[in-house]
Structure 1
Amino acid sequence: MPRRVEPCVPTLVDKPPTGPEWAFEVKWDGYRLAVHVEPGEVRAVTRGGYDWTKKFGSIVAEAHELGHTSMIIDGEAVVLDDEGRSDFGLLQRAVGKRPSSHDASEIVFFAFDLLYLDGRDLRKLPLSERRRLLEPIVAGRAGAIRFSEEVSADGAEFLCVACEMGLEGIVAKRRDRPYRSGRQPEWQKIKCARRDTFVIVGYEPSTMPGAIGRLLLAARKGDGLVYVGGCGTGWSNKESTALRELLNAIPAERPAVTLRRKGAVFARPLLVADVEYRAWTQDGKLRHPSFKGVREMEGPTEAYEIADEPKLAKSNEFK
């Protein structure tokens, strides 16, 4: 039994593939793990090859009870939010050293592949056969180890539903292919990208003279604005310089949001930015935002409005 198997990594694509040879699963937002079960030992090995057995005690303890002498199970360790969605921020807190409302006992391992079983290397088998062997081992469990179910649906329809539910995206896998380490085209990931409009309330200067390092963004909440994070990508050097000139022309006497940021330059909230982003963090900030354009704000309702919880609010557009 190998001490480590480098994982198969999906290739990022723009849209789901079509055809009966493709199987679809939820894309879990967590830490990729291989659970190694051997006589007298269970190890949790990360994608990079690190032994994180101590961080995933509940998963390791349950792996002892799966009823097989030796196994390598491929999957993703996650923490689920109140809506049953994987949340990477919650997971980081659960495995970290800082105090958190979530602890390591809440981490769930979604198993989606079986690479080795009772002395037999399964990697040359097609995915459909590996999943057939994995399912009776983990399906139906509701504890620390669970089965990542295949979704019987058209890929495009599944992606649309996944995005509307606030999931990170979906994964497509060829049922007829063996398991190959490294980034492979027979596994594909399609991410949900939200796109909305946010008020520009200022910027942080770049180390490049005359350019912007980060735009400071806000959303509507009630009768005011609330800071939702900074955006530092998506523009050319020329666009960055032009943005800075635009904002310098409308300086604010006082910030439009409550924010203490050393070196920040605040502007009156007259411009809005079109921003593409992945999701909302637990503390109400945009995750992986990318600038797509700027224009004058025609009216206050043009900007994104935060409801009770920003991560549950619906986006205007999914890409």
Structure 2
Amino acid sequence: MTPKRRSPLPLLDESGATLQSRPVRKRDPQQPGLPFDPMPDRIEPCLASRRPAPPKGPDWLYEVKWGGYRLAVHIDSKGICLLTRDGQDWTHRFPGIAAAARNLGVNAAIFDGEAVILDDEGRSDFAMLQNALGGRGVSQEAIFYAFDLLYLDGQDLTGTELSVRRHLLEDLVPAGGDGAIRLSEELDIDADELLAEARRLGLEGIVAKHRDRPYRSGRSDDWLQIDCTESASFMIVGYALSDSAPGGIGGLLLAARRGYHWVHIGSVETGFSAKDADYLRKTLDMLKTRKPVVPLKGKDYVFALPTLIAEIEFRGWSEDGNLRQTLYKGLRKVQDNAAVYDMKRHDAR
């Protein structure tokens, strides 16, 4: 999948002349002919609304959904400041991104984007980023994917449409870069094909953005998030004991079929209520076995005969063959082993 970028059109009035920004507030005394907007200390981020399917049409552009930490990169004469979604200063936690920002050659700007760590396949891995930043940790290898430009050299750009902001952004952060600050590129491909490809690659999802809308803080329908969730049936082969979790279940151990054998594919820790946990604990205890059907060891593991089949929502697979970001959706009403996920589907990817 080769990304292609479209060249956005300039803003034109009815006569065909390019529209000019309205003069706002005071003018820069050093450049009296240019309108000047003071650089804001913080801009509340624009948030995407979730949708099950992407919108269609030329009014929308599509990008990869990056699974990381939302950051605003502020550059001015005082230095560099990296702000989190809720306004915390995390400049010291991303020294590589801060250094790259200093080298952009920009006098004053605010970039909106996502800090991520990429796995060996080039996918963002939120767990890797969390581990790197555990406690008060620092991530030298994090990358910032810039997807919007909110302020540039005295100009507040939040009132202009996305196509204009993207045009300016691409001049500052060209496509195809491999540094610590990179462009989140527009992907010129049919939306359904893009979503299918994102699922095949095990990505987080895609984001659709309306080209003609200004930057609106808070959640709106100008930006839409379509997640790459999959759903399949897996056998419950035990559970992990927990003193604090509801029902004493810290997670359900899951397995898939491979021929006549069971293969451990990870666990699920979320999605079941206290009532679900109580039922699962009682039922699995009745199916308890000392000999696990998958090669697992752990003093807190309770193994069960392969009988209960759960529907699990997940977002792709890890390199070691485990499910990523699992969510328990419930037990199958009909316990049919043929319905359990066959690893042939995974091996064929």
TM > 0.5 between the two? Answer: yes
The aligned amino acid for 1:252 is: T
Counterpart of 1:174 in structure 2: which amino acid? H
1:168 is aligned to 204
Q: Is 2:66 the partner of 1:31? A: no
Match of 1:177 in 2: 213
Which shows bigger deviation, 82-91 or 270-279?
270-279
Residue deviations 1:118-161, cap 9 Å, x none? 01100000000001111010014320011111111222221111
- How has the CA–CA distance of structure 1 residues 227 and 112 changed in structure 2, closer, same or farther, with 3 Å as cutoff? closer
Contact 1:108 1:144 in 2 (8 A): yes
Pairwise mapping of residues 66-85 of structure 1 onto structure 2 (< 5 A)? 66-85=104-123
Alpha-carbon distance between aligned partners in 1 of 2:135 and 2:274, rounded to the nearest angstrom: 39
1:126 to 151, 161, 172: 161
Structure 2 counterpart of 1:133, which letter? L
Q: Which of the residues 132, 152, 176 maps onto 1:117?
A: 152
1:58 is matched with which residue? Answer: 96
**CA distance 1:313–1:83, change in 2 (3 Å):** farther
Which of 164, 170, 186 pairs up with 1:150?
186
Distance 1:61 1:18 in 2: 39
- Compared CA separation, residues 120 and 213, structure 1 to 2 (3 A): same
- Please report the RMSD computed on the Cα atoms of aligned residues, expressed in angstroms: 3.1
Consecutive unaligned residues in structure 1, runs of 5 or more: none
Distance 1:194 1:24, change over 3 A: same
Match of 2:172, SS? helix
- Rg bigger for which structure? 2
Give the match's secondary structure for 2:49.
strand
Q: CA deviation at 1:64?
A: 1.1
Identity of aligned residues (%): 45
Residue 198 in structure 1 maps to residue 234 in structure 2: yes
CA distance in 2, matches of 1:254, 1:247: 14
Aligned-partner SS, 2:222: strand
The alignment partner of 2:42 has SS state of coil
Change (3 A) 1:261 1:18: farther
2-structure distance, mates of 1:116, 1:177 = 16
Q: Is the 8 A contact 1:250 1:268 kept in 2?
A: yes
Change (3 A) 1:154 1:200: same
- Which residue identity is paired with 1:137? L
Distance (Å, rounded) in 1 between the aligned partners of 2:45 and 2:274? 35
SS of residue matched to 2:112:
strand
C-alpha displacement of 1:68 = 1.6
Query: CA separation of 1:21/1:253 partners in 2, compared to 1, >3 Å: closer, same or farther?
Result: same
Equivalent in the alignment of 2:306: 269
Distance 1:57 1:221, change over 3 A: farther
CA deviations over 1:60-103 (Å, ceiling 9, x no partner):
1111121221000000111111111111112122333699xxx8
Counterpart-to-counterpart distance in 1, 2:274 and 2:61: 39
In structure 2, relative to structure 1, the CA distance for the partners of 1:255 and 1:68 (3 Å cut) is: same
Q: 1:63 and 1:199, CA in 2 relative to 1: closer, same or farther beyond 3 A?
A: same
Partner SS, residue 197 of structure 2:
helix
| Superposed counterparts of 1:1-319, under 5 Å | 1-96=39-134, 104-140=139-175, 141-203=177-239, 214-220=251-257, 223-226=261-264, 228-233=266-271, 237=275, 243-244=280-281, 246-257=283-294, 258-260=296-298, 262=300, 265-280=302-317, 284=322, 286-294=324-332, 295-298=334-337, 302-305=340-343
CA distance in 2, matches of 1:210, 1:73: 46
Larger strand proportion of the pair: 1
Instruction: For residues 182-220 of structure 1, give each alpha carbon's deviation from its aligned partner in whole angstroms, at most 9, with x where no partner exists.
Output: 111111100011222222112468989989774332345
What is the CA–CA distance in structure 2 between the aligned matches of 1:58 and 1:270, rounded to whole Å? 50
Distance 2:217 2:347 in 1: 38
Alpha-carbon distance in structure 2 between the residues aligned to 1:174 and 1:161: 21
Structure 1 281/289 Cα, relative in aligned 2: closer, same or farther at 3 Å?
farther
1:109–1:165 distance in 2 versus 1, CA, 3 Å: same
AA aligned opposite 2:155: R
CA contact (8 A) 2:232 2:340 kept: no
Q: Displacement, 1:282? A: 6.7
The TM-score, its normalising length taken from structure 2, stands at 0.77
Q: Contact (CA 8 Å) 1:89, 1:282: kept in 2 or not?
A: no
CA contact (8 A) 2:268 2:326 kept: no
Q: Quick one: which amino acid aligns to residue 126 of structure 1?
A: E
Q: Secondary structure of the residue that 1:72 maps to in structure 2? A: strand
